[in-house]
Amino acid sequence: MVTKPDHGPKTAIPKVMDVRTFHERFGTDEACLEHLKQLRWGTDLERFTCPDCGHRRGWWLSHRRLVECTSCHKQTSVTAGTVFHRIRTPLWKWFWATYQMAQDKKGIAAMELAKQVGVCYTTAWLILHKLRRAMRDRTQLYTLKGLVEVDETYVGGRATGTPGRGAEKKTPVAVAVELDDERKPGRIAMGTLKKVDGHCLKRFAEGAIERGSKLRTDGWGSYRSVAKAGYEHEAIVTGGGTKAVQTFPWLHTFIGNMKRMILGTYHSVSPKHLDDYLAEFVYRANRRWMEANLFDRLLVAAVTGKPMCYKELVTGDN
């Protein structure tokens, strides 16, 4: 009798929606609109609130695909006031972009999306950035707490001069990782810094980490001023290199994964939009244990997000 070799326990594959199922469910704009309606207002409009008068009852006008308030009779579309507000691109193409961003840990480049759904590069770029902004808005609702490790890194192309702190032509990025009692990672946070000093690091910490938490950092002196904002502080002098990686393994793991996403998928990122790309990475990383539901979660973020036009994204006026 021939026995098969034992390769050890198999890793369970998450039950995510495959491509065939996606096209069966969301191959038409009508199907996408119905799904958005249920996510936003519920099956029977039980979560509907009139944007004009605040009344909580409405009826669905199927022939116009609008909901009408039973009090003031204001008619509202499913996409009004959301990331999908006044879009001209078919809704199923937006759903496909959402699916790609939710299911692929590396994201998708605008040029690749443009080829897949048959739109111009600018349209694909706009779709992806609007979804990233929804991710960013959602991420900013949460703060890290407990034991939090903090460090900085630099994002950008090769440049001459001092490596690490003080590097020129690269954007400094603050990184924080929340650890549980077993020193396993929970949520993470990332954000660009104007420069690596106590003021900018303090501003990042106040926005991303709950006061009273314990910060665990390397021996960089600027973190002492961060701790004065209401944090406990443990400084560990590592001297950089291998010892730093061994002391803060999860920080360096997430930093490495973020840089691989940017270099592998996007190749280069403008400093103006780097926070949005960081938000994309953080959004997926903080929901890595709920991969099967990530598509719908991102759609919810989009329908609760605010409208944004191309000019606002390009100029940074928001």
Radius of gyration of the chain (CA): 22
Q: What is the pLDDT of residue 241?
A: 80
pLDDT at residue 4, rounded to an integer: 45
Q: Residue for token digits 């036009």?
A: 309
Closest to 58 (Cα-Cα) out of 78, 82, 29: 78
**pLDDT(3) > 50:** no
Report pLDDT for 159: 55
Query: Could you tell me where the beta strands, DSSP code E, fall in 49-105?
Result: 58-61, 66-69, 75-77
Residue with tokens 């006044």: 86
218-247 per-position pLDDT tens digit = 988 899 999 999 999 999 988 778 888 999
Per residue in 148-188, pLDDT tens? 999 999 998 665 555 555 556 799 999 999 999 999 999 99
How far is the CA of 280 from the CAs of 54, 127, 143, 210, in angstroms? 33, 13, 16, 22
> What pLDDT does 69 receive?
97
Tokens of 40: 């936003």
> Does the pLDDT at position 306 exceed 80?
yes
What domains, with CATH codes, occur in the chain?
147-285 (3.30.420.10)
Whether 9 has a pLDDT exceeding 60, the answer reads no
Kindly state the average pLDDT of the residues 198-212. Answer: 96
CB-based burial label for 251 (10 Å; 0-12, 13-18, 19+): buried
- Report the candidate in 303, 305, 317, 313 with the shortest Cα–Cα distance to residue 42: 303
> Where would I find the beta strands (DSSP E) of the chain?
58-61, 66-69, 75-77, 147-155, 171-179, 185-192, 214-218, 232-236
Percent of the chain at pLDDT > 70 equals: 91
Mean pLDDT of all residues in the chain? 90
User: CA distances (Å), 152 to each of 67, 75, 256, 318, in order?
Assistant: 48, 49, 12, 26
